């Protein structure tokens, strides 16, 4: 057995715990909260499906790598609601940095450095790949909640409005016109059918 295989197995089994991390977003049918592993899988599938809307030259395999690994730190840090306060986001960032050291410390080098680099790239959102990944991450909960007959979340989020969502989502989505137009259409449709206040 290769000497580093037991450490890799320990890491993979630890990562199975991502399936137990609940998110505030519910499944499209409204039956239960999505978990973070489902979220990561759905984002990777979105990247493959919506690749044509990325900036020219975007490295799609890198986008998928970012999306499959960006939430692994939630195994130790948990998920944070997208509309949390700046102070809460700052605390979460510190918790995720600690979680990354703990989780990625399970694998040997050079994999440890690779996972740290993926996490840092996603958070910094400076590369075209990270920007597209972050746009999909912003879009996916909106689609699950309101697109295609989505039930909305008025009972869980009574203060959430279309105007507030547009303000929260625009910074990540406006660089991708087709996705930003889609998001605005979904919000407008939700307002029209009464699943989201204006």
**What pLDDT digit, counting tens, does each position of 115-172 carry?**
999 999 999 999 999 999 999 999 999 999 999 988 888 778 878 899 999 999 999 9
Residue 178 pLDDT greater than 80, yes or no: yes
Predicted local distance difference test score (pLDDT) of residue 104? 97
Predicted local distance difference test score (pLDDT) of residue 80? 77
Predicted local distance difference test score (pLDDT) of residue 106? 96
- Per-residue pLDDT, averaged over 47-76, amounts to 97
Helices 177-193 and 128-146: crossing angle in degrees, nearest 10, is: 20
Predicted local distance difference test score (pLDDT) of residue 60? 98
Residue 49 pLDDT greater than 90, yes or no: yes
Following CA atoms 172, 145, 95, 128 in sequence, which dihedral angle do they give, to the nearest 10 degrees?
-30
What does the alpha-carbon distance between residue 34 and residue 11 come to, in Å, rounded to a whole number?
23
Predicted local distance difference test score (pLDDT) of residue 2? 85
The answer, yes or no, to whether the previous bond of 110 is cis (omega within 30 of 0) is yes
Domain ranges of the chain: 5-193
pLDDT-based confidence at 78, cuts 50/70/90?
Answer: confident
Predicted local distance difference test score (pLDDT) of residue 129? 98
pLDDT-based confidence at 7, cuts 50/70/90?
Answer: very high
Locate tokens 């050291």: which residue? 101
- Per-residue pLDDT, averaged over 64-76, amounts to 96
Q: Which two tokens stand for residue 153?
A: 């979340």
Sign of CA dihedral 124, 126, 127, 129: positive
pTM of the model: 0.94
**What pLDDT digit, counting tens, does each position of 95-110 carry?**
999 999 999 999 999 9
> Pick from 190, 130, 133, 149: which is nearest to 166 by CA?
190
What does the alpha-carbon distance between residue 30 and residue 83 come to, in Å, rounded to a whole number?
20
Q: Any idea what the Cα angle at residue 82 is, between residues 158 and 188, rounded to 5°?
A: 55
Predicted local distance difference test score (pLDDT) of residue 151? 85
* Protein fold of 5-193: Hypothetical protein af1432 (1.10.3210)
Residue 1 pLDDT greater than 90, yes or no: no
Predicted local distance difference test score (pLDDT) of residue 63? 98
């Amino acid at each position: 057995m290769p000497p580093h295989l037991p450490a890799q197995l320990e890491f993979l089994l630890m990562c199975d715990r991502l399936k137990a991390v609940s998110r505030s977003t519910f499944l499209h049918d409204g039956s239960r909260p999505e978990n973070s592993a489902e979220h990561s899988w759905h984002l990777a599938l979105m990247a493959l499906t919506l690749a044509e809307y990325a900036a020219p030259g975007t490295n799609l395999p890198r986008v998928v790598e970012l999306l499959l690994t960006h939430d692994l730190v939630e195994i130790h840090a948990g998920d944070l609601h997208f509309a949390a306060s700046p102070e809460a986001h700052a605390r979460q960032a510190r918790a995720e940095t600690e979680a990354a050291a703990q989780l990625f410390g399970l694998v040997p080098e050079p994999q440890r450095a690779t996972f740290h680099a993926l996490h840092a790239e996603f958070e910094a959102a400076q590369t075209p790949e990270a920007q597209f990944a972050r746009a999909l991450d912003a879009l996916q909960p909106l689609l699950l909640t309101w697109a295609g007959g989505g039930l909305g979340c008025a009972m869980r989020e009574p203060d959430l409005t279309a105007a507030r969502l547009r303000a929260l989502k625009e910074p990540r989505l406006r660089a991708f016109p087709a996705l930003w137009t889609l998001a605005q259409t979904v919000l407008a449709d939700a307002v029209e059918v009464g699943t989201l206040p204006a």
